[in-house]
Structure 1
C-alpha cells in the first residue's frame, strides 16, 4: 500500500486529473484506507496549484519497497501522460523494487473441501443482505466464509472492521476475481473486460494477491475459512490446486 508523507527538499513528478464531485466520491469509496488531503504542487509551467491527494489512515504499517508491478504501472502512466523523461528514467534505474513472483511461487488456498460445491445463485445469498447467511467470497473458484469479527474490545477490532467493510462493499456473494483484477491491474496481463478475459495464470496471481492481502491485514485463516468450490453451469469448476 502506497502512502504520502512530507520529506524536506524531496520532490516527485505526477499527474493531476480533473474530476467531478461524483467521480471523487467514487474514488473516496475505493480508497477506503485513505483520506483526502490538500497538497501544493508546481506544474511544468512553474504555476502553483492546490490539489487533492490520498494519505493512508492505517497506522503501524511497515515501510516496504514498491512491487515491480506497481512501479511498472507508475512508469506506464508517466509515459502516457507525458511526464518528463528524466523522472521516468530515474524511476526505472534508481528505484529498488520487490520483484514479481514467478507463477510457481504463487500461494494457493488450501484445505478446500474437495466434494462440496456451490452454484452462483447459492453464493449470491451470502452477500450480507440476510444475516442468517454468513459472508462468502469466491477467489479462483474457491469459496471462503467469514467467521466473524473479533470482540469490540479486541485491539484488532477497528482494523478488522474497516477491512470487513471493504470486503462486504465490493466482493461478497460472488466471484471476486474480475472485480479484484480491475483494481489490481497487472501489466503482464491484459486489462479484463469480463470474466472470460481472465486466464488461469491471471486467476492464480489474483488468488496469491488475495492471500497476501488477507495476511497483511491480519485476516488470513483467523477470520476466513474455505468451505467449498464454485460449481459452474457447464459442470466445470474454476479452481487451482
Structure 2
C-alpha cells in the first residue's frame, strides 16, 4: 500500500507541472497578435482561425488555443475521470505558438514581442482569457454566419458548423464550456456536450436550429438568432 502511494505521488509530480509566467506572457503576446490581425487584416485572421478549426484537433485543444487559455490547469491529459491533472507546460505553450503560426502563415503582420515593462504571471490569465474571447467571439460569430450561408440548404458542412457553434458557446459561456462537438453518422444532428448538459442542432428549412422539444413540438429559433446579441 505504501508503495502504491509513493508511485501515485510520483505520477502526479511527473505529469502535473505548475504553469510559469512564460505561459502567461505567451498568452498575452498571442492576444496582442490576434488584436493586430483583427485591426489590420481581419480576413487573414478569419482564414487563420478557419485553418485551425479544420485541422481536426480535439475540441479541448481548440478550447485552450482559442477560447479559455486560462483554464489550462483543469484539463486532463489522460481523460481519467478519477483525477484532474495539469496539462504539461510544453504542450500548453505549443498550443499558443500554433495560434501565432496560423496567423503568420496567412498575414504579413510580424509576431509581437513583449515590451520592456510587460511581464505577466498566472494571476493575469483570467483577464487574458476574457480579452481573447472578446476578439475571437466576433471572428467566430462571423465564421459561423458564413458557414451557415455556404451550407444551405442541405449543410454538407455540418461538422464545421457544429464546431463553430461549440466554440461560440464556449466563448459566450466559458464557465460551462463545451467539451465535445460531434455530428451523427447520418450527418443530420450536431451534439455539443458541456459539463452538465447537451445541446443539439439540426438543419431545418435551410437554417440551423436548436433541437428543443416541448410536448413533442419543435421550438423554432435559429442558432444565429440565439447568438444575435453575443459579441456585438
Report the structure, 1 or 2, having the larger helix content: 2
TM-score (norm 2): 0.24
TM-score (normalizing by structure 1) = 0.24
- Greater Cα radius of gyration, structure 1 or 2: 1
